[in-house]
């Protein structure tokens, strides 16, 4: 399907992008989730090929060498994340538009490659303090990983103006409604 579009949701970790993307997948049937590849350990409850394509750092580097990624980055030492070309084509061939839940760097990279065919949305948290609180509530992060994510978030917030749209996630219901409106308008163009 050559008319497929890309919807990109990016945000600092804990801002709510995954919650928003899941909601959009439930209310807009034309969307299909792009499963990212990563080289980190699988977390409790995650499934390979559903949450991520889990690869070893070596396997990930091999796919980089073979130019199998549209975008990728080494977020932390030996912790790679990326989007496989085959995943985007799989979704377009199914007749759907691709929706991404990616970090800020990946989102900007995708937008630069697909330009007008892509909508890049930045999910803005109400504050750094609220991000830290949300990360702690997950109970999946160590104190060190929370500190690392907060440090990264402070840099990522400065890139919001490089996205097509910014959605403030201070009240989830408003953020969900804003996201629906923005995505539906883009798909109708």
pLDDT digits (tens, 9 = 90+) for 125-167: 988 888 788 778 877 778 888 888 888 888 888 999 999 999 9
* CA-atom Rg of the chain in angstroms: 16
Distance CA 180, CA 34 (A): 18
Q: How many domains does the chain have?
A: 1
Residue 1 lies in a domain: no
For the ranges 2-6, 84-88, 101-105, the maximum mean pLDDT occurs at 84-88
21 within some domain: yes
pLDDT in tens, 2-33: 579 999 999 988 888 999 999 999 999 999 99
CA 131, 56, 118, 34 dihedral sign is negative
CA distance 115 to 15: 24
Span 91-111, average pLDDT = 92
Domain that holds residue 100: 6-188
Q: What CATH number does residue 47 fall under? A: 3.40.50.300
- Per-residue pLDDT, averaged over 106-127, amounts to 93
| CA–CA separation, 54 and 38 (whole Å) | 5
Q: In the numeric block, which tokens belong to residue 74?
A: 């080494």
Q: How many residues would you count in the chain?
A: 189
């Amino acid at each position: 399907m050559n008319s497929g579009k890309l919807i990109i949701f990016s945000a600092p970790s804990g801002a709510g992008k995954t919650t928003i993307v899941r909601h959009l997948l439930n209310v807009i049937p034309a969307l299909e989730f792009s499963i990212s590849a990563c080289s980190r350990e699988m977390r409790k409850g995650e499934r390979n090929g559903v949450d991520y394509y889990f690869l070893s750092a070596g396997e990930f580097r091999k796919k980089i060498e073979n130019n199998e990624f549209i975008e990728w980055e080494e977020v932390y030492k030996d912790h790679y994340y990326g989007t496989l070309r085959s995943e985007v084509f799989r979704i377009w061939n199914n007749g759907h538009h691709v929706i991404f839940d990616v970090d800020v760097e990946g989102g900007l990279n995708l937008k630069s490659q697909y330009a007008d065919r892509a909508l890049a949305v930045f999910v803005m948290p109400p504050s750094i303090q609220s991000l830290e609180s949300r990360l702690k509530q997950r109970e999946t992060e160590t104190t060190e990983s929370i500190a690392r994510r907060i440090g990264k978030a402070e840099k990522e917030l400065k890139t919001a103006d490089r996205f097509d749209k910014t959605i403030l996630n201070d009240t989830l219901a408003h953020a969900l409604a804003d996201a629906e409106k923005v995505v539906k308008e883009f798909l109708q163009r």
